[in-house]
Structure 1
Amino acid sequence: MANKKAIVVGSGLAGLSAASTLLSHHIPVILLDRAAKPGGNSIKASSGINGAPTRFQSGPGDSVDLFAADTIKSAGSVFAQGGEADRREPLVRKLTSESAGAIEWLVNGMGVDLSRTAQLWGHSRARTHRGKGKIPPGYAIVSALLKELQGTSLFELRGESEVVKILRDEKGRVNGVRYRRSGVEEESLEGPVIFTAGGFAGDSAGMLKEYRPDLGNFPSTNDPRPGAHKLLTDVGAKLVDMGFVQIHPTGFIDPANRSNMNKFLAAEALRAEGGVLLNRDGKRFVNELATRLEVTGVIMSMESKSENPKQWDVQLVLDEGAYQAAQTHVDFYIFKNLMCKVRAAEMDATMRAELQAYGDIVSGASADPHGRAAFGHWSSRAPIKDDDFFYVGDVTPVIHFTMGGAWINTNAEVVKAEGGPIEGLWAAGEITGGIHGENRLGGSSLLECVVFGRTAGENVAKYLSKVDL
Structure 2
Amino acid sequence: MVVGPITGCGTESAVNETPGTSTPAVQDKSTDIVVIGAGGAGMTAAIQAVQDGAKNVVLVEKMPITGGNSVRSTGGLNAAPTKYQERDGIKDSIELFVEDTMKGGHNLNDESLVRTLAENSAAAVDWVNDIGGDLSVVGMFGGASVKRIHRPSDTSAVGPMLVTTLNNKVEELGIPVLLNTKAEEILVDANGAVTGVKVTGEEGTYTIKTKAVVLATGGFGANAEMVTKYKPALAGFATTNHKGATGDGIVMAEKIGAGFVDMEQIQTHPTVNPTDQTIYTEGVRGNGAILVNKEGKRFINELETRDVVSEAILKQTEGQAYLLFDQEVRESLKAIESYIKGGIIVEADTIEGLAEQIGVDPANLKETMEKYAGYQASGSDPDFGRASMEFPLTQSKYYAGLCAPAVHHTMGGVKINTEAQVLNTDGNPIPGLFAGGEITGGVHGGNRLGGNAVADIVIFGRIAGSAAHAYVMENGGTTEPTIQAAAKPAEAKPEVEANYKDGTYTGVGQGKGGEIKVEVVVKDGEVIKVTLKDHAETPGIFENAEEGVVGEIIRKQITEVDAVGGATMTSEGIKAAVAQALEAAK
TM-score (norm 1): 0.89
Q: Deviations over 1:398-424 (max 9, x none)?
A: 110000000000000000001110001
Q: Which residue of 1 aligns with 2:215?
A: 195
Amino acid at match of 1:330: I
Amino acid at match of 1:315: Y
Q: Deviations over 1:312-341 (max 9, x none)?
A: 230001111111111x21110111111122
- Name the SS for the 2:190 alignment partner: coil
d(CA) in 2 for partners of 1:446, 1:237: 24
Query: Quick check: 1:338 aligned with 2:344?
Result: yes
Q: Deviations over 1:225-254 (max 9, x none)?
A: 421101001111011101000011110133
Tell me the percent identity: 32
2:291/2:321 contact within 8 Å kept: yes
- Name the SS for the 1:457 alignment partner: helix
Q: Which residue of 2 aligns with 1:318?
A: 325
Amino acid at match of 2:438: E
d(CA) in 1 for partners of 2:236, 2:346: 27
**2:462 pairs with 442, 447, 454, which one?**
454
Q: Which residue of 2 aligns with 1:176?
A: 196
Q: Deviations over 1:302-321 (max 9, x none)?
A: 34x2xxxxxx2300011111
d(CA) in 2 for partners of 1:366, 1:135: 29
- Name the SS for the 1:297 alignment partner: helix
Amino acid at match of 2:118: T
Q: Aligned-pair distance for 1:380?
A: 3.2
Q: Aligned-pair distance for 1:115?
A: 1.2
**2:258 pairs with 227, 231, 237, which one?**
237
RMSD: 1.7
Q: Deviations over 1:344-388 (max 9, x none)?
A: 141322212211221111111763310000023x2434xx7xxx2
Amino acid at match of 1:248: H
Q: Which residue of 1 aligns with 2:14?
A: none
Q: Give ranges in structure 1 of 5+ residues lacking alignment.
A: 80-87, 255-261, 306-311
2:325/2:393 contact within 8 Å kept: no
Change (3 A) 1:135 1:299: closer
Q: Aligned-pair distance for 1:467?
A: 0.3
Q: Aligned-pair distance for 1:220?
A: 0.9
d(CA) in 2 for partners of 1:281, 1:4: 60
Q: Which residue of 2 aligns with 1:23?
A: 50
TM-score (norm 2): 0.72
Q: Which residue of 2 aligns with 1:355?
A: 369
**1:130 pairs with 151, 172, 175, which one?**
151
Amino acid at match of 1:380: L
d(CA) in 2 for partners of 1:231, 1:60: 43
- Name the SS for the 2:81 alignment partner: coil
Query: Quick check: 1:70 aligned with 2:76?
Result: no
Q: Aligned-pair distance for 1:34?
A: 0.9
Query: Quick check: 1:391 aligned with 2:399?
Result: yes
d(CA) in 2 for partners of 1:234, 1:445: 26
> Rg: which structure is higher?
2
Q: Aligned-pair distance for 1:464?
A: 1.2
Q: Which residue of 2 aligns with 1:163?
A: 183
- Equivalent runs, 1:256-267 vs 2, <5 Å: 263-267=277-281
Q: Deviations over 1:190-244 (max 9, x none)?
A: 111000000011100x211211122111111113442110100111101110100
Query: Quick check: 1:5 aligned with 2:32?
Result: yes
2:31/2:58 contact within 8 Å kept: no
Q: Which residue of 2 aligns with 1:247?
A: 268
Q: Aligned-pair distance for 1:98?
A: 0.6
Change (3 A) 1:31 1:283: same
Query: Quick check: 1:91 aligned with 2:113?
Result: yes
Change (3 A) 1:147 1:406: same
2:68/2:242 contact within 8 Å kept: no
1:20/1:149 contact within 8 Å kept: yes
Change (3 A) 1:78 1:343: same
Q: Which residue of 1 aligns with 2:555?
A: none
Q: Which residue of 1 aligns with 2:64?
A: 36
Q: Aligned-pair distance for 1:119?
A: 1.0
- Equivalent runs, 1:114-125 vs 2, <5 Å: 114-125=135-146
